[in-house]
Amino acid sequence: MEVQAITRNVRMSAQKMREVTRQIQGLPALAAQAALQAVPRKSAFWVAKTLKSALANAENNRDLKPESLRVKEAVAGTGATLKRFIPKARGSAGPIRKRTCHIKIVLSDQA
């Protein structure tokens, strides 16, 4: 049985988030949770928060034990981009892209 959790519109680029989500893919859920606590990145906080939510969904909605779950899929996709401009030389403007991403974690009890 599969359980998922999605965190949307996190104010960080998907590229930075993917570095952390790749580390936990395929791990047992509790081992992934422990691994995320050792990663000193802002993105690790958001991935850990999403993983905790997925574990809570599994326990409360599907009556699954956290010890039997594995991270089947951990994905960071691009979200909406806020477009801003900064003044540049000679009256021109330079673009600033404030990127967001969506984190999706799928837990499964099959090996």
The domain spans of the chain are 2-108
Q: Which helix (H) or strand (E) holds 18?
A: helix 14-24
Mean pLDDT of 15-25: 97
Burial 15-31 (b: 16+ CB within 10 A, else e): eebbebbebbeebbbee
| Spatial CB neighbours of 9, under 8 Å, sequence gap ≥ 6 | 79, 80, 100, 102
pLDDT at 83: 98
pTM: 0.92
pLDDT in tens, 42-86: 999 999 999 999 999 999 999 999 999 999 999 999 999 999 999
The superfamily (CATH) of domain 2-108 is Ribosomal protein L22/L17 (3.90.470.10)
Identity of the amino acid at 83: K
pLDDT at 110: 84
Distance between CA 54 and CA 5 in Å, rounded?
A: 5
Q: Which helix (H) or strand (E) holds 93?
A: strand 93-108
